[in-house]
Amino acid sequence: MPDINPHEREKPLEKPPFFKHWSGMYWLVLGNLVFLILLFYTLTKIYA
Amino acid sequence: MKALDWVVLLGTLGFIVSYGVWKTRGSRDIEAYLKGDNSMKWWSIGLSVMATQASAITFLSTPGQAYEDGMRFVQFYFGLPIAMVIISITVIPIFYRLNVFTAYEFLESRFDLKTRSLAALLFLVQRGLAAGITIYAPAIILSTMLGWSLNVTILIIGVLVVIYTVSGGTRAVSVTQKQQMAVMMGGMLVAGYMVVQYLPERVSFGDAVAVAGKMGKMNVVDFSFDWDDRYNFWSGITGGLFLALSYFGTDQSQVARYIGGKSVAESRLGLIFNGLLKIPMQFLILFIGVMVFVFYQFNQPPVFFNEAAKARVYATPYADNLRALETQYAGVFAEKQEAVQGLVTALRTEDEGAIATAQQQVDALTANARSVRDEAKQVIKQATPKAELKDTDYVFISFVMKYLPTGLVGLLLAVIFSAAMSSSASELNALASTTVVDIYKRSVRQEGSGRHYVMASKLFTVGWGAIAITFAMFASLLDNLIEAVNIIGSIFYGTILGIFLVAFYFRYIRGNAVFVAAVLAELVVLYCYYFSDIAFLWFNVIGCVCVILFGFILQALFGKPGEQEGTA
């Protein structure tokens, strides 16, 4: 009897979570990058 | 190592290997064995992609790099999230539509068989050599620190990886990488917590970060442009983008991780997961290195972190010179420790004048300490001319072995072994699938059964594992081996990236043109390697640009697409 994980029977995702379109997801990644760069820049300025 | 450390180390590794073998038992057809039956969820893909990239050297070298050079290495990853978005938009849908097993399969549908075979062979040469180094590099450090035989350490890592990779194929690699990532991140978080706890009571976490900043270690982002500066914002966002595009878009060890997803959406989310978390993860590892640096401002560090190299010097006539320098280093440290405490006090008063004075004193003593350390390195070089003088890879593991409590030492060693195994497993799996799908099944035996190709994949995994282990065992016979492999990688990587960029973005160029362009580009790169002083990292750019440029010229000479050959 093969071991079938219940998760493997789930229907695969077709659309991104939280957003109507994939572009929303991509902007989230790029926005996160900009946020991190600004955060790191602030840290650099504060502690330099 | 105490008994409890052994229990934690062997228990963790034994559990991961056994779980991987048990969970993926019975993969009988090629689809299940090489693509995991397209059953992977997005978080599993994301963890697998991250675990493949995080080799043992990531956990050994990165904290040491922060200790020496501060946080700025994190900028190297700024291009990665952009690459994840580009690959999600352009590459993943094509790979799914064509239902490919390997990235190189796509090249046949876009160009022709010879271009596919050329790219697959270039990958096999480059990744086949790198697989040996992925095992050798951590083994040399772990064997030195643990006092084990180098060959035994190589065999432990290599054989464990081969066992579960052969048993369960791609799915076993992904299943075990989830556990490995949990061990890696859990272990690093515990190490980070412990190093902060080990700071003197009078030094708070805020003081530690402020001291690190004043000593030049919180240099996270630098917007100034300098060609000679390896890590700044501009090199990270451009060079890092190209490197990430080629690594995640064309390297089968990464492509295999995300083409096994349940759907395009699951694969995209897996890469987005990596795009969101990779930079914070690298930041965390570097920050732990900075905290280790602050820890060593209040606790005596060794003059040279590779204790085995020092032990070899003690057996030579240079022993007294080294001991004298160690005494001198301890004296400078005592002065510096007081100066750093003075800097902490000054920072708390927020008196700019006092801070500047304390900082000057710390800077002067830091320069003194560095000078003594450099002298010690010279003595080591004189006593043992073949000694490796870069000891930053030993900073973090020395801290772990000397200061962490029993049990945690075993856990942190499990982190490093897990990292070595996770990236090696992906490499062996990718080498076997490329050999079977792009060479054996396509050009040697096309009519075999599914079971036959699964058996062939297992045999090729064992074969590549044996090659990687053998190469790792003989690696110490070569000088500057890691650099040699990086050079070999750079010689081929640019050409492979060029072929894929043409395939995705330059529809005008067809099979014959890109094949001849790739061969010519490779010759140009080889010419540059043998007859010029160009730094090897530039070979990536030269190879890639030459393929595109020559492709356009040759396509113009061969005639319009469609006149000379069929459209893809």
**Nearest CA distance, B301 vs chain A (angstrom):** 24
Token duo for residue B311: 């032990």
Q: B14 vs B19, B71, B161, B162, B178, CA distance in Å?
A: 8, 35, 11, 14, 15
Which pLDDT belongs to residue B562? 60
Per CB-CB distance under 8 Å, the chain A contacts of B74 are: 40
Which pLDDT belongs to residue B559? 80
The set of residues, in sequence order, having a beta carbon less than 8 Å from that of B67 and lying 6+ positions away, is: B289, B290, B292, B293, B296, B392, B395, B396
**Nearest CA distance, B210 vs chain A (angstrom):** 6
- Interface contact B220-A22, CB threshold 8 A: no
- Interface contact B218-A14, CB threshold 8 A: no
Which pLDDT belongs to residue B503? 93
pLDDT at A14 over 80: no
- Among the listed residues B86, B114, B370, the one whose alpha carbon sits nearest the alpha carbon of residue B241: B86
Per CB-CB distance under 8 Å, the chain B contacts of A4 are: none
- Interface contact A33-B84, CB threshold 8 A: no
> CB contact, 8 Å: A15 with chain B?
yes
- The Cα B555–Cα A9 span in angstroms is 48
Cα–Cα–Cα angle for A32, A33, A36, nearest 5°?
Answer: 85
Per CB-CB distance under 8 Å, the chain B contacts of A10 are: 41
- Interface contact A15-B265, CB threshold 8 A: yes
Phi, psi dihedral angles at B32 (to 5 degrees): -70, -40
Among chain A residues, the shortest Cα distance to B281 is held by A36
Which of B221, B233, B258, B347 should be substituted to probe chain A, the one whose Cβ sees the most A Cβ atoms within 10 Å?
B221
- What are the residues facing B40 on neighbouring strands? B261
Let me know: does B318 contact B379? Beta carbons within 8 Å: yes
> CB contact, 8 Å: A44 with chain B?
yes
Which pLDDT belongs to residue B245? 87
**Nearest CA distance, A26 vs chain B (angstrom):** 6
The set of residues, in sequence order, having a beta carbon less than 8 Å from that of B161 and lying 6+ positions away, is: B135, B421, B424, B425, B428, B465
> CB contact, 8 Å: A27 with chain B?
no
Which pLDDT belongs to residue B525? 92
Chain pair A-B, CB pairs under 8 angstroms = 83
For helices B319-349 and B352-383, angle between their N-to-C axes, nearest 10 degrees: 160
**Nearest CA distance, B17 vs chain A (angstrom):** 18
Q: Give the number of other Cβ atoms within 10 Å of residue B562's Cβ.
A: 9
**Nearest CA distance, B338 vs chain A (angstrom):** 21
Phi, psi dihedral angles at A19 (to 5 degrees): -120, 150
- Interface contact B85-A29, CB threshold 8 A: yes
**Nearest-by-Cβ selection for B263 from A3, A13, A48:** A13
- The Cα B100–Cα B266 span in angstroms is 16
ipTM: 0.86
Among chain A residues, the shortest Cα distance to B214 is held by A48
3-state secondary structure of A15: coil
3-state secondary structure of B40: strand
**Nearest-by-Cβ selection for B263 from A2, A12, A32:** A12
Following DSSP, what letter does each residue of B90-121 receive, concatenated? IIHHHHHHHT-SSHHHHHHHHS-HHHHHHHHH
Residues of B contacting chain A (CB within 8 angstroms): 23, 26, 39, 41-42, 71, 74, 78, 81-82, 84-85, 88-89, 209-210, 212-214, 218-223, 233, 261-263, 265-266, 268-269, 272, 275-276, 279-280, 283
Q: What is the mean pLDDT of chain A?
A: 80
- Interface contact B276-A7, CB threshold 8 A: no
Which of B272, B293, B352 should be substituted to probe chain A, the one whose Cβ sees the most A Cβ atoms within 10 Å?
B272
The set of residues, in sequence order, having a beta carbon less than 8 Å from that of B390 and lying 6+ positions away, is: none
> CB contact, 8 Å: A47 with chain B?
yes
- Interface contact B82-A30, CB threshold 8 A: yes
Let me know: does B270 contact A21? Beta carbons within 8 Å: no
Per CB-CB distance under 8 Å, the chain A contacts of B23 are: 3
The set of residues, in sequence order, having a beta carbon less than 8 Å from that of B85 and lying 6+ positions away, is: A26, A29, A30, B272, B275
The pLDDT averaged over each successive group of 10 residues in chain B (568 residues) is: 89 88 76 80 92 85 90 92 95 91 92 93 89 86 84 91 87 86 91 94 92 93 79 84 86 91 93 96 95 95 91 92 95 94 91 90 94 94 87 89 91 88 90 94 88 92 94 72 69 89 91 94 92 80 93 89 49
3-state secondary structure of A18: coil
